[in-house]
């Protein structure tokens, strides 16, 4: 099936506002990705190379909401806006004649590691603060929803070690003690679901089937759902000293631009597919309601959480677990 015929994530054709739309205005409009309802939009970052288009779904530090749209007051999105984790910028943005409010995470995530070019230097023996970790960030968003406390969120982001916050949905299986334990999940076929559809307040997870010299998984927290599209907020390891988390759109329809199809590389060319998670499976993570997680007997000496990054990057940070 043609993905473009089923996806709810679209580009808009310029419409006439006052006379003919200029070529520059038309090109600017095409940078945005809209949910078909037209109420929500993201603007992917510019591609690194001029002959490439921006990523279809990812790399948008801003979420744009049409000013006539009302956010569900019970949603995680409204909850974190009320907390001040996501803030509205002062000026509205006009997109194709409509007025949108622009929202961003309230501050850049800090990465105190030393970089050589775009590559962080390994600090295993002397780790430095790195908030820009996809799992750590998703955990902080879960804590925001369940605690409602900004200090709790900030303490988690700046901590060097913590207990796991997430577990596989509808189980007591903790996620994040070690790569080895994460991979054990695949031995239970009932837990795998490449058509996974997390509810707002839960997270997508794609995990490699074997340990490799690259990122073992990527996690994306679901903030909102509208018109059969999940809106996520995600961190990206190894992305520099200060980095605003990205908003992204993923279809719920399994034939569309789903999280799994995007991150497994199914919709990309071969070179990019190899850099993603072509050997990965997807499932849903939810908040761990147990106050004291029980360590697996299979990995009693596992004290660290391994590489956590997205897009297959090699993250030099080891994030300790208690």
Instruction: Give the pair of three-digit tokens for residue 95.
Output: 């997109």
Instruction: Give the pair of three-digit tokens for residue 196.
Output: 């996974």
Range with the largest mean pLDDT of 144-148, 181-185, 310-314: 144-148
What's the mean pLDDT in 145-166?
92
What's the mean pLDDT in 255-267?
88
Full domain range(s) for residue 78: 3-321
CA count, 13 A, side-chain hemisphere, 239:
23
Domain count, the chain: 1
Q: Looking at residue 60, what is its pLDDT? A: 92
Which of 2-16, 172-186, 214-228, 298-312 bottoms out in mean pLDDT, i.e. has the lowest? 298-312
Range with the largest mean pLDDT of 123-127, 243-247, 271-275, 289-293: 243-247
What's the mean pLDDT in 154-158?
93
Q: Looking at residue 3, what is its pLDDT? A: 82
Q: Which residue has the higher pLDDT, 310 or 61?
A: 61
Q: Which residue has the higher pLDDT, 63 or 194?
A: 63
pLDDT over 70 percentage in the chain: 74
Mean pLDDT of the chain: 80
């Amino acid at each position: 099936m043609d993905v473009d015929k089923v996806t709810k994530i679209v580009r808009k054709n310029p419409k006439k506002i006052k006379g003919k739309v200029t070529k520059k205005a038309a090109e600017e409009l095409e940078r945005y990705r809209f949910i078909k309802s037209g109420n929500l939009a993201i603007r992917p970052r510019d591609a690194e190379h001029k002959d490439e288009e921006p990523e279809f779904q990812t790399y948008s530090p801003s979420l744009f909401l049409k000013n006539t749209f009302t956010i569900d007051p019970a949603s995680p999105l409204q909850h974190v806006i009320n907390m001040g984790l996501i803030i509205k910028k002062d000026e509205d943005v006009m997109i194709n004649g409509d007025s949108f409010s622009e929202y961003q995470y309230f501050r850049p995530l800090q990465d105190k590691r030393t970089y050589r070019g775009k590559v962080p230097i390994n600090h295993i023996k002397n780790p430095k603060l790195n908030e820009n970790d996809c799992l750590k960030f998703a955990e902080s968003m879960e804590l925001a929803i369940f605690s409602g406390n900004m200090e709790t969120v900030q303490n988690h982001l700046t901590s060097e070690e913590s207990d796991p916050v997430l577990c596989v949905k509808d189980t007591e299986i903790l996620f994040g003690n070690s790569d080895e334990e994460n991979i054990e999940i695949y031995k239970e076929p009932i837990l795998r679901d490449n058509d996974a559809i997390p509810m707002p307040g839960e997270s997508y997870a794609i995990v490699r089937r074997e340990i490799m010299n690259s990122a073992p998984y990527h996690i994306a927290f679901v903030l909102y759902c509208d018109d059969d599209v999940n809106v996520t907020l995600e961190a990206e390891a190894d992305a520099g000293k200060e980095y605003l988390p990205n908003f992204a759109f993923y279809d719920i329809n399994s034939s569309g631009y789903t999280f799994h199809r995007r991150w497994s590389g199914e919709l990309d060319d071969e070179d990019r597919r190899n850099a993603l998670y072509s050997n990965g499976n997807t499932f849903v993570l939810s908040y761990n309601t147990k106050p004291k997680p029980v360590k697996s007997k299979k990995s009693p000496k596992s004290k660290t959480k391994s590489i956590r990054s997205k897009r297959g990057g090699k993250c030099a940070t080891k994030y300790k677990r208690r």
